[in-house]
Amino acid sequence: EKAMSTASASSPSGSPGNLSRKDSAAAVDELEEESELPEEFAHLSPAQQQMMIKQRAAIMMGIGTGLIIIFSDPMVDCMSNLGERLGIPAFYIAFVLAPLASNASELIASLNYAGKKTKKTITVSLSALQGAACMNNTFCLAIFMGLIYAKNLAWKFSAETISILLVEILIGLMALSSTMTVWHGVLALLLFPASIMFVALLEACGID
């Protein structure tokens, strides 16, 4: 009986074996987080490391903003010319190429984070993607609609706006799930071509 009680006491999830596995997993996560720190900052104190990281981030963001300001206008002209030469409406050219160009940095960063396959990095990856989507579909869309209102431009974007709102609702419903599977990713990817077809369908039905 004593042997059985000892075995049953050591078998639950709080057993030393399970605890050691949890501790080892936590240690691996900590080591991976430490490995992300640049080598030139390793000898600094934690406060100095934070300051140098913030300075480098500010410099890189400033450089990135400058590159966007310089190349955004020529990029729009290139897409317009490409659409004219191929006989394809500029909207569809921009719909496919512009997101790939403007969100490439976020996509690469999220892939790098997700590639570590830890709970924390996956959470950071999903949070970054959701934050970027929220910004694009709120702040950027508000600027676009504000320009239409301020300059009295003709409203010919009902089909595009309906498609954006529909995709936002579907992605929002998927984001409510506490567990993400491969099928969530597949459905999210399928929404991209589906939104293009939905816009084309609405325009074919006479909706601008």
Q: Taking the alpha carbons of 150, 152, 158, 160 in that order, is the dihedral positive or negative?
A: negative
Please give the structure tokens belonging to residue 25: 């997993």
Show the CA angle centred on residue 141, arms to residues 98 and 97, nearest 5°.
Answer: 5
Which secondary structure element, helix H or strand E, spans residue 49, and what is its range? helix 46-86
Amino acid at the residue 65? T
Answer yes or no: are the C-beta atoms of 90 and 83 closer than 8 Å: yes
Mean pLDDT by 10 residues, the chain (208 residues): 42 48 52 61 81 88 88 84 82 78 77 79 80 79 86 85 87 82 87 88 85
pTM for the whole structure:
0.59
pLDDT at site 58: 93
Report the alpha-carbon distance of residue 121 to residue 110 in Å, rounded: 9
Distance CA 80, CA 197 (A): 20
Q: What is the pLDDT of residue 104?
A: 77
d(CA 30, CA 23): 10
